[in-house]
């Protein structure tokens, strides 16, 4: 599954070379050693040591064995999308030289790699592998938690809900062989240690923490305390880890499972009802219940009720769900859009993250609510988005069967916002996570989108952690792509692709006996 680079020419010493390259140092130059190359269905990813901070020239050999320069780079990595889509497996040989030195000089490093055929399996491997790097390579180094976003202006802010998605992604990474299990467990252990020791609010975690100081970081003016919804997303991941490691023969892994269990049992779900028949989103030691936000749906918060009723230590009554959650104006629907009936949810369904966050671990096929199977409901919601893009009522550029999916994400002009149909915020922006994370509901439609993004748009929309956060082809060139990454958009892609491929995270999470009991209490089982 992993592509192993074959090193052909290695020189470990400082080599004396003639030339006028910018990397010369007193007549000597360092070879960019080592260089690795990994092949994917339509690109090769090159990485090397940037020994002196100079500019390098990259060469690739064609079928004749002749090396031609393909790029210059002042970085320490480069993605070569110029190879095109690989219909059959192919090998490529690359050379890298400091600028100004000939391709056949002694100051070179050479590597060969294999590119797999462009199958859907290889494509999904690539998307999962790259996207997982957000939770491995980009995880906060001291806490292990997921950084909120790649372009955070507030410093190293880590997110609890996104970390829950990351925990499930780390399970996928280990089981798929994208990373060693030992590395996955090490990141999880670091995360659990932080969660044990950071400030909590009646067992619940804040939305954000400052990763460098470990202190709570306010999400908004009065939101500086417990967030029971973000806590639910985090616990979803903790329970998946608990079940994954529960029967491990390794004593440390088994202990980590117990520690996850203790964190789950420490959450005081009943506290967040305020002794009433409603569930409240926020509590602050400084501002109390000032935000006064009752959790009503149908939206991404469904998992908070399932976990709250399922808790073996601090549960609330199922009556809280029925007295609060269905009381919003967008719980029941019953209308048809593009000939597709939507039983629950707002007009046209709302943003697609409503179908992702609560169902990364919780299998919607096993949940029946008011006569509506939640898998079928979520599939209908997704197909409405797909058909909306084909209909394209606002006449946006490129919308159609291969470019669709609308959810909250970064926007080229206004920052983070929703883009769902039926609102002014639907401005031509497509969020790759929307269609990709919906692959469990719409396999062929989502694969069509993924193929288009990768094979047709390529490096325009793809970077070091997978697909960028948003793309708006109706904008002028230079403003079409927001080259950021968000934890809450990255995690669902890894997990939902895996649930489509194997059902892995659904299978793991649904072995929780408390969840099965909670669903029965709520009357949600078929």
Opening angle at CA 276, ends 270 and 280, nearest 5: 65
Q: What DSSP state is assigned to residue 437?
A: T
Cα separation, 228 vs 161, in Å, equals 10
Cα separation, 405 vs 401, in Å, equals 10
With residue 121 as reference, give the H or E element that holds it.
helix 120-136
Report the SS3 class of residue 26: coil
DSSP strand pairing (43-48 vs 56-61): unpaired
- For residue 283, what are the contacts with CB-CB under 8 A and spacing of at least 6? 201, 202, 204, 225, 226, 228, 271, 272, 289
Q: What DSSP state is assigned to residue 68?
A: E
CA-wise closest residue to 216 among 244, 197, 235, 237? 197
Cα separation, 103 vs 83, in Å, equals 19
- For residue 111, what are the contacts with CB-CB under 8 A and spacing of at least 6? 5, 6, 7, 8, 35, 36, 37, 46, 93, 94
With residue 172 as reference, give the H or E element that holds it.
helix 160-176
The phi, psi pair for 389, rounded to 5°, reads -65, -40
For each of the chain's 526 residues, which pLDDT tens digit applies? 433 333 333 232 223 232 333 333 324 555 666 789 999 999 999 998 875 567 889 999 977 889 999 999 988 899 999 999 999 999 999 998 888 888 887 667 899 999 999 999 999 999 999 999 999 999 999 999 999 999 998 889 999 999 999 999 999 999 999 999 999 999 999 999 999 999 999 999 999 999 999 999 999 999 999 999 999 999 999 999 999 999 999 999 999 999 999 999 999 999 999 999 999 999 999 999 999 999 999 999 999 999 999 999 999 999 999 999 999 999 999 999 999 999 999 999 999 999 999 999 999 999 999 889 999 999 999 999 999 999 999 999 999 999 999 999 999 888 999 999 999 999 999 999 999 999 999 999 999 999 999 999 999 999 999 999 999 999 999 999 999 999 999 999 999 999 999 999 999 999 999 999 999 999 998 5
Beta strands in 77-151 (DSSP E): 77-80, 90-98, 109-115, 146-147
Domains of the chain: 6-118 (2.60.40.10), 122-522 (1.50.10.140)
Cα separation, 467 vs 84, in Å, equals 18
DSSP strand pairing (415-417 vs 282-283): unpaired
């Amino acid at each position: 599954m992993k592509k192993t680079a074959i090193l052909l020419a290695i020189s470990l010493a400082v080599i004396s070379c003639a030339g006028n390259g910018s990397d010369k140092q007193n007549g000597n130059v360092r070879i960019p050693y080592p260089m690795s190359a990994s092949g994917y269905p339509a690109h090769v990813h090159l990485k090397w040591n940037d020994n002196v901070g100079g500019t390098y020239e990259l060469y690739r050999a064609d079928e004749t064995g002749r090396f031609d320069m393909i790029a210059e780079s002042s970085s320490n990595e480069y993605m070569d999308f110029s190879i095109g889509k690989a219909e059959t497996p192919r090998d490529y040989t690359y050379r890298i030289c400091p600028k100004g030195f000939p391709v056949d000089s002694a100051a070179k490093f050479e590597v060969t790699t294999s590119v797999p055929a462009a199958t859907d399996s290889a494509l999904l491997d690539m998307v999962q592998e790259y996207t997982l790097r957000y939770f491995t390579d980009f995880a906060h180094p001291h806490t292990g938690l997921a950084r909120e976003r790649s372009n955070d202006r507030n410093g190293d802010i880590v997110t609890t809900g996104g970390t829950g998605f990351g925990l499930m992604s780390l399970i996928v990474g280990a089981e798929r062989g994208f990373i060693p299990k030992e590395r996955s467990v090490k990141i999880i252990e670091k995360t659990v240690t932080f969660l044990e020791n950071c400030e909590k609010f009646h067992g619940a975690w804040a939305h954000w923490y400052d990763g460098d100081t470990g202190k709570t970081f306010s999400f908004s003016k009065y939101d500086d305390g417990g967030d029971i919804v973000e806590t639910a997303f985090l616990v979803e991941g903790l329970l998946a880890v608990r079940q994954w490691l529960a029967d491990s023969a390794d004593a440390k892994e088994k202990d980590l499972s117990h520690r996850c269990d203790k964190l789950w049992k420490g959450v005081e779900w009943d506290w967040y009802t305020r002794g009433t028949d409603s569930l409240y989103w926020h509590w602050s030691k400084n501002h109390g219940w000032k935000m006064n936000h009752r959790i009503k749906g149908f939206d991404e918060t469904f998992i908070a009720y399932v976990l709250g009723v399922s808790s073996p230590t601090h549960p609330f009554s199922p009556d809280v769900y029925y007295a609060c959650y269905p009381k919003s104006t967008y719980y029941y629907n019953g209308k048809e859009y593009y000939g597709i009936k939507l039983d629950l949810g707002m007009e046209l369904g709302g943003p697609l993250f409503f179908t992702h966050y609560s169902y990364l671990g919780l299998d919607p096929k096993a949940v029946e609510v008011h006569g509506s199977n939640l898998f079928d409901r979520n599939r209908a919601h997704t197909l409405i988005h797909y058909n909306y893009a084909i209909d394209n009522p606002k006449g946006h550029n490129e919308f159609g069967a291969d470019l669709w999916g609308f959810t909250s994400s970064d926007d080229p002009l206004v920052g983070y916002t929703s883009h769902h149909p039926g609102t002014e915020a639907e401005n031509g922006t497509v969020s790759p996570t929307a269609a990709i994370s919906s692959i469990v509901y719409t396999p062929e439609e989502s694969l069509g989108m993924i193929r288009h993004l990768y094979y047709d748009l390529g490096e325009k929309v793809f970077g070091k952690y997978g697909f960028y956060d948003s793309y708006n082809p109706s904008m002028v060139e230079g403003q079409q792509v927001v080259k950021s990454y968000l934890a809450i958009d990255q995690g669902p892609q890894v997990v939902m692709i895996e649930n489509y491929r194997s059902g892995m995270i659904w299978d793991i999470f649904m072995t929780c006996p408390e969840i099965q009991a909670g669903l029965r209490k709520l009357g949600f089982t078929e």
